[in-house]
Amino acid sequence: MTVTVPPTPVLILGARSDIALAAAHRFAQAGHPLHLVARHPERLETDRTDLQLRHDVPVTLHNLDLLDTAAHGPFLDSLPTLPGVTICAVGLMGEQAENEADPTRAAEILRSNFEAPALLLGAIANRYEAAGKGTIVGISSVAGERGRATNYIYGSAKAGFTAFLSGLRNRLAKKGVHVVTVLPGFVATRMTAGMDLPAKLTAQPAELGEAIFRAVDRRRNVIYVRPIWQLVMAIIRNIPEPVFKRLKL
Amino acid sequence: MILSGWGRYPRLDVTVTSPRAEGDLRAALATGPVIARGNGRAYGDSAINPRLTLDMRGMNRMLAFDPASGQLTAEAGVTLDAVINSFLPRGWFPMVTPGTRYVTLGGMIAADVHGKNHHRDGAFGTCLDWVEVMGQDGIPRRASLTKNDDLFRATLGGMGLTGIITRAAFRLRPVETAWIRQRTIPTPDLDATIEAFETHADATYSVAWIDCLTRGAGLGRSVVTLGEHATRADLPPSMRPAALALPPRRRLRVPMDAPAAALNRHTVRAFNHLYHRRATAQAGEAFVGWEEYFYPLDAILDWNRIYGRRGFVQYQCVLPPATARAGLRTLIDRIAEAGQASFLAVLKRMGPEGLGQIGFPMEGYTLALDFPASPDALALLPALDDIVLAHSGRFYLAKDARLPATTLHRADPRLQGFRATREAAGQARHFASHQSERLGL
Ligand SMILES: Cc1cc2nc3c(=O)[nH]c(=O)nc-3n(C[C@H](O)[C@H](O)[C@H](O)COP(=O)(O)OP(=O)(O)OC[C@H]3O[C@@H](n4cnc5c(N)ncnc54)[C@H](O)[C@@H]3O)c2cc1C
Ligand SMILES: NC(=O)c1ccc[n+]([C@@H]2O[C@H](COP(=O)([O-])OP(=O)(O)OC[C@H]3O[C@@H](n4cnc5c(N)ncnc54)[C@H](OP(=O)(O)O)[C@@H]3O)[C@@H](O)[C@H]2O)c1
């Protein structure tokens, strides 16, 4: 198979995430220059060197806290060109018990998974619309498919983010701009380190990297990683509410 | 979790952690004895400590490359596969490579691996400029031939027992193409095989596949292959534009454990026969791609499953020049007599001993075989051990899963000194593998 994606720069938000880095490697392997965005981007210096050495592509680091929404516009203006692909891996899970008890923390979870990524991607989408091209990849979660007692603050924010991506795709479908929604199940990353996850349902970051690359290449709309999750979530979505509300999930 | 080496024997219940930064290593060290693990390609129990095994593959970044010298600096968990993928298209290839590219830098250093060019270039130590080793105090120390050279020599070939290798700098060799000019020489018996190695001592690469089931006149018949990196000018003009690229090849995967009977003396004998006949028909020169030449087994992912559930053991020894001929003859005769099918039997001429305090290679001939981990085969191995001892040979720890400590120490007096070094440096209490405990290393 030949790689058909032209090597346009790729903007990666939340670049310190293992999933984001795996995607960075996959796109760099295909020759794409990278702009990596993170808080304290100096922590990514070694990864930047690694990406450059391995794949012989330029990689730049950018400082942005997505919660600082006033900084979004100036940040986009500071980029030398408008990157053809944007991938957003920003997210924050927290602990459900703490999220329930502390409204400040809950707000932070809601904003980090929904408001902040949505506002920045919305601003990028407007620029893509004007340019008549561009691809946005939003990493949401299966946790947004149905609220569960153990994870619903995070889950509801992801639900909002999924709906936002869906609307964006619908709005821009005829404008040459494509939106990919990524719905991972479990992924073995820093976020889930130490959790006891079932091996068959748990993807490695590299699988996400590959899946995201292919989804962009093939203009897929919504992808589950480890396809089994599509089935699992279909079942979970279809459990009648009177039964669901009694389940421990 | 259940963990094993590449031979899938023995299998042990092990706690594994995946450190991502030096702080994680320090935290792990504070809990008690550990062993570092690379990509698990050692065949036996070298990279297993049931109490705590550190999976180093998460620390795998490339840190610097100097195109003037070909020196690459990287974290220990980087795989050779990644190095080749990145640097072969830019005209660089490993100076020394084992027969699989799915190994880590740390694993190559810890076993001081050798390749098909050992007789000329030596083992991995020849291209290793420095290594950084974290001792029990949690401090990484840089060691080279000019600084901390004791630590350097003990770590090279030291099977992870001197500390955790965190990063290293090693040199790649410049190549003009990704192709090998291969010459195939079928030989009718052991004398001719040895003769072929000695005649072609100046070849960059040499190795033989050897038939270990034939006795009598044809004992030791082999297919010797020699190799040189092809230059651009060597290649036919049509191949020159993409000289450094190879089309991606399809990989096969062994989907499940083969039934235990799939590999037996009959199937292996048939394979050996066909292989030898084909090689005789194709004797001469050919251009072979780097993957096919260096890593034929890597084309079949998970090939270790062809031995079935019970797993298999590798057996690798090296015999000095003076006794090699007689020793090899006795070994092969014994194996053939037992009718134990070794699917892969590889013979290679080795050059002088390297820099490692207990490194495996030494001048002579090394024979590597594999056997199913069946009661019959395991019962044969002590007889082979005795033959190796009687011919002043030594054993390769990276392949071992079953040697008795007494046999190993009789074969290699350097190990006592190594143990003493480890005691003196306080490493013995902090770095241990299932193998080091079994063998008193
Ligand atoms: C198909 C095949 C062909 C092979 N061919 C050859 C060959 O031609 N020549 C040859 O020499 N070998 C050969 N080998 C053996 C292999 O090269 C060695 O066993 C090598 O050490 C494996 O590297 P690894 O990264 O998988 O290490 P592991 O198998 O995980 O570990 C091997 C040893 O290295 C130590 N180690 C690993 N990482 C570190 C670290 N970061 N710090 C400290 N210690 C560490 C471990 O403790 C252990 O003792 C072959 C193996 C296979 C499966
Ligand atoms: N792991 C899973 O099982 C799983 C499953 C489904 C979905 N996901 C989603 O996948 C994405 C990546 O997650 P991950 O598993 O790789 O975990 P992760 O390492 O926690 O990644 C999340 C990243 O978002 C960044 N981030 C959070 N808030 C930010 C802000 N305000 N500004 C800038 N960056 C911010 C974090 O940066 P810092 O390093 O600065 O904290 C972190 O790098 C997330 O959206 C997550 O929800 C993960």
Please give the pLDDT value at position B429.
96
Q: Looking at the domain that runs over A10-244, which CATH code has it been given?
A: 3.40.50.720
| Cβ-Cβ contacts under 8 Å, B64 against chain A | 49, 53
How many whole angstroms separate alpha carbon B19 and alpha carbon B4? 19
Stretch among A136-150, B67-81, B240-254 having the lowest mean pLDDT: B240-254
pLDDT tier, B253 (very low <50, low <70, confident <90, very high otherwise): low
Average pLDDT over residues B104-113: 98
pLDDT tier, B161 (very low <50, low <70, confident <90, very high otherwise): very high
Total CB pairs under 8 A between chain A and B: 24
Q: What percent of chain B has pLDDT over 70?
A: 94
Does residue B261 surpass a pLDDT of 60? no
Query: pLDDT tens across B347-367, in order?
Result: 999 999 999 999 999 999 999
Please give the pLDDT value at position B262.
61
For residues B361-377, one letter each, b for 16 or more C-beta atoms within 10 angstroms of the residue's C-beta and e for the rest, the string is: bbbbbbbbbbbbbbeeb
How many whole angstroms separate alpha carbon A212 and alpha carbon A26? 9
Query: pLDDT tens across B51-82, in order?
Result: 999 999 999 999 999 999 999 999 999 999 99
pLDDT tier, B284 (very low <50, low <70, confident <90, very high otherwise): confident
Query: pLDDT tens across B374-426, in order?
Result: 998 999 999 999 999 999 999 999 999 999 999 999 999 999 999 999 999 99
Average pLDDT over residues B148-177: 98
Please give the pLDDT value at position B227.
97
How many whole angstroms separate alpha carbon A183 and alpha carbon A236? 14
Domains and CATH numbers, chain B: 59-176 (3.30.465.10), 179-408 (3.30.70.2520)
Phi, psi values for residue B303, rounded to 5°: -65, -15
Q: Is A224 a catalytic residue?
A: no
A198 preceded by a cis bond (ω within 30 of 0) = no
Which pair of structure tokens corresponds to residue A156?
């509801």
Which pair of structure tokens corresponds to residue B192?
């001719």
Does residue B85 surpass a pLDDT of 70? yes
Phi, psi values for residue B255, rounded to 5°: -75, -25
Q: Fill in the DSSP letter of residue A173.
A: G
Does residue A111 surpass a pLDDT of 90? yes
Average pLDDT over residues A198-214: 96
Which pair of structure tokens corresponds to residue B42?
């050692």
When comparing pLDDT for A110 and B258, which is higher? A110
Please give the pLDDT value at position B306.
77
Q: What is the largest CA-CA distance in chain B?
A: 61
Which pair of structure tokens corresponds to residue B156?
């090279």
Please give the pLDDT value at position B298.
87
Q: Are B167 and B74 in contact (CB under 8 A)?
A: yes
Does residue B214 surpass a pLDDT of 70? yes
Query: pLDDT tens across A144-183, in order?
Result: 999 999 999 999 999 999 999 999 999 999 999 999 999 9
Stretch among B75-84, B173-182, B237-246 having the lowest mean pLDDT: B237-246
When comparing pLDDT for B262 and A217, which is higher? A217
Query: pLDDT tens across A81-100, in order?
Result: 999 999 999 999 999 999 99
How many whole angstroms separate alpha carbon B83 and alpha carbon B104? 10
Among residues B3, B23, B46, the alpha carbon closest in space to that of B166 is found at B23
pLDDT tier, B281 (very low <50, low <70, confident <90, very high otherwise): confident
Instruction: Determine whether the interchain pair A47/B61 forms a contact, defined as Cβ–Cβ distance below 8 Å.
Output: yes
Q: Are B62 and B170 in contact (CB under 8 A)?
A: no
Residue to probe by mutation, ligand 2, list A11, A189, A230, most atoms within 8 Å of CB: A189
Residue to probe by mutation, ligand 1, list B12, B24, B41, most atoms within 8 Å of CB: B41
B114 Cβ contact list (under 8 Å, min separation 6): B96, B98, B122, B123, B124, B348, B350, B360, B361, B366
Does residue B149 surpass a pLDDT of 70? yes
Average pLDDT over residues B228-256: 81
Please give the pLDDT value at position B246.
67
Q: What percent of chain B has pLDDT over 90?
A: 82
Does residue A5 surpass a pLDDT of 60? no
Question: Which whole-number Å values give the CA distances from A23 to A190, B20, B57, B235, in the listed order?
Answer: 15, 18, 18, 37
Does residue B260 surpass a pLDDT of 60? no
Which pair of structure tokens corresponds to residue B66?
């100097």
Q: What is the largest CA-CA distance in chain A?
A: 56
Domain borders along chain A are 10-244
Find the chain B residues whose C-beta atoms sit closer than 8 A to any C-beta of A: 20, 61-65, 72, 82, 85-86, 90
Label residue A174 exposed, middle or buried (CB < 10 Å: 0-12, 13-18, 19+): exposed
pLDDT tier, B283 (very low <50, low <70, confident <90, very high otherwise): confident
**Residue B149, helix vs strand vs coil:** helix
The residue whose CA is least distant from atom 7 of ligand 1 is B98
Does residue B250 surpass a pLDDT of 60? no
Q: Are B57 and B104 in contact (CB under 8 A)?
A: yes
How much is the ipTM here?
0.89
Please give the pLDDT value at position A162.
98
| Cβ-Cβ contacts under 8 Å, B65 against chain A | 53
Find the chain A residues whose C-beta atoms sit closer than 8 A to any C-beta of B: 46-47, 49-50, 53-56, 190
